[in-house]
Amino acid sequence: MLELKNIIFDVTGDDKKKKRIIDDVSLKLDENKFYVITGPNGSGKSTLAKLIMGIETPTSGNILLNGQDITGLDITERAKLGISFALQQPVRFKGIQVLDLLKMAAKNNESFKDKALSTGEACEYLSAVGLCAREYINREVNSSLSGGELKRIEIATVLARGTKVTLFDEPEAGIDLWSFQNLISVFEDMRKSIRGTVVIISHQERILNIADEIILLADGKIKKIGKKEDMLIDILGAGVASGAFCGKIQPTDKDKGAC
């Protein structure tokens, strides 16, 4: 179980003013459950995932994994304890091939014991995310890949890790409609096989549909946790709320309706 206790995350902006990004978030995420975090742009979803992965350090509060306090552990240590994170904006590498990346990802995967990931096994992960393995396995993870291709490779690397806790940050972004349905079955298979905690950050209704629980974040706070049916009004409401800041800019006649 992954537990967040009173997490606060502040940043100092360019104007030297302190800004609270995550505001006293407490959460318990169980094993064998599917969570979707949703909420308006800028509500703090990616930041929350980064705090769990150790990419950001909370200003205060604690993070516990199966009872162990991991707040002081760095990214590598948390990765080795079994947390994975598919980034909203995947990183490109000149020269590193897709196969290299998958091998690095699978290195700590217990199901491969001490054997390196074989090319055949690597191909299965690529097929799972809808990429023709033969075509992509030796491609460089560089700027020649399209946004959607890169996003799928990012998901494949996380699948290859096979960890107990997996965070996906807007995995559907940039992925075409046809593949989207396959992607959903990938997530469902994943939960079945690993029986771990899967957390997906998403705005997509079809992903909300498969969630055991939806966590609605707004302005760095948890607004509500529950099932989709109970939350639709809140979710829509949160979107409207986030648009409220537009009111602070004096609209000219020409801009009217832009928000």
Ligand X SMILES: Nc1ncnc2c1ncn2[C@@H]1O[C@H](COP(=O)(O)OP(=O)(O)OP(=O)(O)O)[C@@H](O)[C@H]1O
Q: What is the residue type of 186?
A: V
Please give the residues from 79 up to 118 whose contact with ligand X meets the rule CB under 6 A: 88
21 near ligand X, rule: CB under 6 A: yes
13 near ligand X, rule: CB under 6 A: yes
Q: By CB under 8 A, which span of 73-81, 115-123, 176-184, 238-246 interacts with other proteins?
A: 73-81
Q: Which of 45, 151, 161, 191 binds other proteins (CB under 8 A)?
A: 161
Q: How many residues bind other proteins (CB under 8 A)?
A: 26
Place of tokens 């409609």: 177
Nearer to ligand X, 42 or 61 (CB): 42
Q: Distance between alpha carbon 254 and the CA centroid of its chain, in Å?
A: 38
Q: Which of 27, 36, 44, 207 binds ligand X (CB under 6 A)?
A: 44
87 near other proteins, rule: CB under 8 A: yes
43 near Mg ion, rule: CB under 5 A: no
CB–CB of 60/6 below 8 Å?
Answer: yes
Q: Which of 6, 11, 93, 147 binds ligand X (CB under 6 A)?
A: 11
Question: Which stretch of DSSP H or E encloses residue 199?
Answer: strand 197-201
Give the span between the Cα atoms of 219 and 230, in whole angstroms.
20
Give the span between the Cα atoms of 243 and 78, in whole angstroms.
36
104 near other proteins, rule: CB under 8 A: yes
Beta bridge partners of 198: 34, 166
**Pairing assessment for the beta strands 197-201 and 165-169 based on DSSP bridges:** parallel
The nearest distance, CB 201 to ligand X, in angstroms, is 7
Question: Which stretch of DSSP H or E encloses residue 23?
Answer: strand 18-29
Q: By CB under 6 A, which span of 34-42, 57-65, 70-78, 140-148 interacts with ligand X?
A: 34-42
CA neighbor of 70 nearest in space, from 4, 136, 121, 123: 4
The nearest distance, CB 112 to other proteins, in angstroms, is 13
- Alpha helices, DSSP H only, in the chain? 45-53, 75-81, 98-106, 119-128, 133-136, 147-161, 177-194, 205-209, 228-243
DSSP state of 97: B
Give the span between the Cα atoms of 113 and 48, in whole angstroms.
31
Nearer to ligand X, 9 or 125 (CB): 9
Nearer to other proteins, 145 or 216 (CB): 145
Q: By CB under 6 A, which span of 44-52, 72-80, 108-116, 149-157 interacts with ligand X?
A: 44-52
Q: By CB under 6 A, which span of 40-48, 66-74, 75-83, 124-132 interacts with ligand X?
A: 40-48
CA neighbor of 37 nearest in space, from 201, 180, 168, 166: 201
Which residues contact other proteins (rule: CB under 8 A)? 53, 55, 74-76, 79-80, 84-85, 87, 90-91, 93-97, 100-101, 104-105, 107-108, 140, 157, 161
Which residues contact ligand X (rule: CB under 6 A)? 11, 13, 21, 39, 41-47, 88
